[in-house]
A and B are shown apart, each in its own frame.
Chain A
């Protein structure tokens, strides 16, 4: 995000900046039936989360890290988003995830939540842990697809 955009955010007196689509659960779609990367590994939502068209992990990681730094220094917080939407991109993931969610036990959900939070301190991040301020998650049946992107990343 450009400095002037960050300054505009600060001037707006907004408290938080939420990226609706940041991460999603990962599945191995090369398997038939689709194999769960148990117990749901997390990955970047590369269908939605793009920076000037780029969605490689390093770019997304750097973008998020810089966004957090820029917003924090202006008194704000950054919430990452976790959204799977019916009728939108990531349909294969959505179709696989919903049945899993319906059958998930409490311990499954707890483990999944830990995976989500743990993603941001994952060794896979090349620059070390990303200190997010919170999470924003959608209903699993939210119908608006790409129109629902609330605070889209820089284009």
Chain B
């Protein structure tokens, strides 16, 4: 399902547990936290809201620590609580502990009064972050003429490495800021072989400022992950900006969204009209330029920007 909906968040429900294979809700199937690492867009949502049935903060945190201790990133864990079935004061304490671990919260059985409390919890979980969340846009052509100010475009300044077979050079672990300087577009390079699968995907705000991942969809199938250090925002397609930063435009490059060609045109304008220096695809015989499979030719550049 994570692959079928690679451009969005897919969460699976599980229960608190202290080791893979056993859960604290006897009749619930234990789904390992490690599943969340299988795909970039997969999140484990843990049901831990029934304090009246023996749940406690310590039990929940034990489960969180187990997941974190087994290499599951905090952004891939959401602890689901139900304020209607749990003493709020206990949840307040839990939120403080989750914030220390940078783990998010899912609130069940939403009521108006719950939402007010949720804002307080979010302020603890995401201190200093912007309110409300990053705007999202539907899969459609970008129409705002200002790339910089368009709410669908954000900036990632340091792109540390891409994982697995994303064809970055000189090495996957090289700081891509260095690669970008004088090199043109890192992501244009990625776009030559990959469509970005993260359209509209937006990690929790408390992820901003910490490493984040971007899903890259191979045209021939499969999903690879790219990793960004200290992002200002995450989500959607990406293009390189004038200063070597990466501009993330939600939906860029995806079918029905702003085509890559259009995005690169915008990036070129931002650079003062100069053409982007698209690097050649590193694999032999692949040539340079944009992979036509991920360019939607119907976008009217004059109309859109």
Q: Does A97 contact B (CB under 8 A)?
A: no
Interface size on A, residues (CB 8 A): 44
Which of A15, A77, A113, A142 is in CB contact (< 8 Å) with B205? A15
Which residue on A lies nearest to B82, using beta carbons? A150
Among A83, A141, A148, A152, which residue has its beta carbon within 8 angstroms of that of B29? A141
Q: State the CA gap A144–B107 with chains docked (Å).
A: 16
Chain B: which residue is nearest A135 at the CB level? B10
Task: Provide the residues of chain B in CB contact with A144, threshold 8 Å.
Answer: 47
Partner-binding segment picked from A3-11, A30-38, A56-64: A3-11
Interface string of B196-211 (1 = CB under 8 A from A): 0000111011000000
Asked if A76 contacts B133 (CB within 8 A), the reply is yes
Q: Is A26 an interface residue (CB 8 A)?
A: no
The answer to whether A137 touches B116, judged by C-beta atoms less than 8 angstroms apart, is no
Distance in angstroms from B33 CB to nearest chain A CB is 13
A13→B108 contact, CB < 8 A: no
Contact B108 A150 (CB under 8 A): yes
Residues of A within 8 A of B8 (CB): 77, 79, 132-135
- 1/0 per residue, CB under 8 A from B, across A96-130: the answer is 00000000000000100110110000000000000
The answer to whether A12 touches B118 (Cβ under 8 A) is yes
Please, how many angstroms separate the alpha-carbon atoms of A98 and B200 in the complex? 32
B80 at the interface (CB under 8 A from A): yes
**B108, B131, B136, B202 — most chain A CB neighbours (10 Å):** B136
State whether A139 touches B11 (Cβ < 8 A). Answer: no
A18 located at the interface, meaning its Cβ lies under 8 Å from any Cβ of chain B in the complex: yes
CB distance from B237 to the nearest CB of A (A): 16
- Pair A137/B11 contact, Cβ less than 8 Å: yes
Closest A residue by C-beta to B15: A139
How far apart are B59's CB and chain A's nearest CB, in angstroms? 17
Least CB distance, A42 to chain B, in whole angstroms? 12
Chain A proximity of B221: nearest CB distance (Å): 11
Q: Is A18's CB under 8 angstroms from B27's CB? A: no
Q: Are A75 and B132 in contact (CB under 8 A)?
A: yes
B305 at the binding interface (Cβ < 8 Å): no
Would you call A72 an interface residue if the criterion is a C-beta within 8 Å of the partner chain's C-beta atoms? yes
* Interchain CB contact (< 8 A) of B132 among A5, A10, A137, A150: A10
Flag whether B51 is at the interface (Cβ < 8 A).
no
- C-alpha spacing A19/B115, complex, angstroms: 16
Q: Is the CB of A76 within 8 A of B136?
A: yes
A113 to B6, CA, bound (A): 11
B22 at the interface (CB under 8 A from A): no
Collect the chain B residues with CB atoms within 8 Å of residue A140's CB: 29
Residues of B within 8 Å of A136, CB to CB, are 10-11, 13, 45
Contact B122 A13 (CB under 8 A): yes
What is the CA–CA distance of A10 and B115 in the complex, to the nearest angstrom? Answer: 9
Q: How far is the CA of A152 from the CA of B110 in the complex (A)?
A: 7
| Bound Cα distance A83, B12 (Å) | 10
For residue B46, give the distance in angstroms from its CB to the closest CB of chain A.
Answer: 11
Instruction: Report the bound CA distance from A17 to B136 in whole Å.
Output: 13
Q: Which residues of B contact A117 (CB under 8 A)?
A: 1, 4-5
Q: A46 interface residue, CB < 8 Å from B? A: no
Q: How far is the CA of A124 from the CA of B19 in the complex (A)?
A: 44
Tell me the B259-275 residues at the A interface (CB within 8 Å). Answer: none
A84 to chain B, nearest CB (A): 11
Q: Fill in one digit per residue for B8-52: 1 if any A CB lies within 8 Å of its CB, else 0.
A: 111111110000000001011101000000000100010100000
Contacts beyond the supplied A77-B9, A113-B1, A134-B8: 12 A-B pairs with Cβ under 8 Å: A11-B116, A12-B116, A13-B119, A14-B115, A15-B202, A75-B134, A136-B13, A137-B11, A137-B13, A139-B13, A139-B28, A142-B47
6 cross-chain pairs, A with B, having the tightest CB-CB distances, nearest first: A134-B8, A134-B9, A113-B4, A13-B122, A12-B115, A12-B118
Interface CB pairs A-B, < 8 A, 29 = A8-B112, A10-B132, A11-B119, A14-B118, A75-B133, A75-B135, A76-B136, A79-B9, A110-B3, A113-B4, A113-B5, A116-B4, A117-B5, A132-B8, A133-B9, A133-B136, A133-B200, A134-B5, A134-B8, A135-B10, A136-B11, A137-B1, A139-B31, A141-B29, A143-B25, A144-B47, A150-B80, A150-B107, A152-B110
